[in-house]
Amino acid sequence: MTAATWSERYAASLMNTFGPPKLTLVRGEGAHVWDSDGKEYVDLLGGIAVNTLGHAHPALVAAVTEQVSTLTHVSNFFTTPQQVELAERLLAVTAVDGADGRVFFCNSGAEANEGALKLTRLTGRTHVVAMEDAFHGRTMGALALTSKAAYRAPFEPLPGHVTWVPFSDTEALAAAVTDETAAVVIEPLQGEAGVNVAPSDFLVAAREITKRHGALLWLDEVQSGMGRTGSWLASHPSGVVPDIVTLAKGLGGGLPIGALIGFGRAATLFEPGNHGTTFGGNPLSCAAALAVLATIEEEGLLARAAVVGERLRAALREDPRVLEVRGVGVLVGLTLARDVAPAVVAAAQEAGWIINATGPDRIRLAPPLVVTDSDVDSFLALWPALLDDAMAADS
Identify the burial level of 297 via C-beta atoms within 10 angstroms of its C-beta, where 0-12 means exposed, 13-18 middle and 19 or more buried. middle
* Nearest-angstrom CA–CA distance, 372 and 346: 23
Q: Rounded to a whole number, what is the distance in angstroms from the first to the last CA of the chain?
A: 37
Catalytic residues: 135, 220, 249
- The two counts, helices (H) then strands (E), for the chain are 13, 17
Is the peptide bond preceding residue 157 cis, with omega within 30 degrees of 0? yes
The residues, any chain, with a CB within 8 Å of residue 106's CB and separated by 6 or more, are 112, 115, 248, 257, 258, 259, 260, 277, 280, 281
* Nearest-angstrom CA–CA distance, 69 and 67: 5
Identify the burial level of 98 via C-beta atoms within 10 angstroms of its C-beta, where 0-12 means exposed, 13-18 middle and 19 or more buried. exposed
Residues forming a β-bridge with 184: 129, 217
Amino acid letter, 295: T
The residues, any chain, with a CB within 8 Å of residue 387's CB and separated by 6 or more, are 319, 321, 336, 340, 344
How many Å separate Cα 251 from the centre of its chain?
A: 9
Q: Rounded to the nearest 10 degrees, how much is the dihedral formed by the CA atoms of 140, 144, 150, 156? A: 70
